[in-house]
């Protein structure tokens, strides 16, 4: 790694010239469009939830963060998934082309052990099984199933 080429980028990753140019990471006066030797360090932005504090999502995020040291974003995706489970296709938005149902699929990505994905998912599973015992939650996937 060439530390002298390191760029600090907030939320942008990759070596796509147009993407980096539009994000202001590089300028038009850059010597070459070949960025394959450049090294970019990414600082991911934190999720800002701007909801009123007295709704299901915020209550679950508060509960999750008080009882588990996983990233708050995992509790946020769990709360959205709980909404999807409890509506059970009974809520829909009628559009001209088709009905839209609030089916939510979430995937939590994070570093092993540090992010505490399993702890957050375990908490969500116990919560969902208690509230919705008839809703079967998937326990695993095969590459063919995806």
SS (H, E, C) 55-71: CHHHHHHHHHHHHCCCC
Return d(Cα 62, Cα 95) in angstroms, integer: 34
Radius of gyration for the chain, computed over Cα atoms and rounded to the nearest angstrom: 20
| Rounded mean pLDDT, 99-125 | 88
Tokens of 117: 């994905």
Q: Per-domain residue ranges for the chain?
A: 3-43, 56-131
Give the whole-angstrom CA distance, residue 146 versus residue 136. Answer: 18
At 35, the pLDDT band (50, 70, 90 cuts) reads low
User: pLDDT digit string (tens) for 6-31?
Assistant: 444 444 444 455 666 666 666 666 55
What are 43-89's pLDDT values in tens digits?
Answer: 666 778 788 889 999 999 999 999 999 989 999 999 999 988 888 88
pTM value is 0.61
């Amino acid at each position: 790694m060439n530390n002298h080429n390191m760029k600090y980028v907030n939320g942008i990753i990759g070596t796509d010239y147009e993407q980096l140019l539009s994000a202001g990471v590089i300028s038009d006066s850059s010597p070459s469009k070949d960025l394959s030797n450049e090294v970019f360090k990414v600082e991911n932005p934190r999720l800002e939830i701007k909801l009123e504090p007295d709704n299901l999502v915020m209550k679950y995020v508060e509960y999750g963060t008080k009882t588990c040291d996983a990233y708050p974003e995992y509790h946020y995706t769990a709360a959205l998934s709980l909404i999807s489970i409890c509506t059970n296709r009974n809520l829909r938005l009628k559009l001209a082309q088709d009905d839209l149902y609030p089916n939510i699929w979430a995937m939590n990505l994070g570093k092993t052990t540090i992010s505490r994905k399993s702890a957050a998912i375990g908490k969500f599973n116990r919560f969902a099984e208690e509230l919705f015992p008839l809703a079967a939650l998937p326990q695993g996937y095969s590459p063919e199933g995806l």
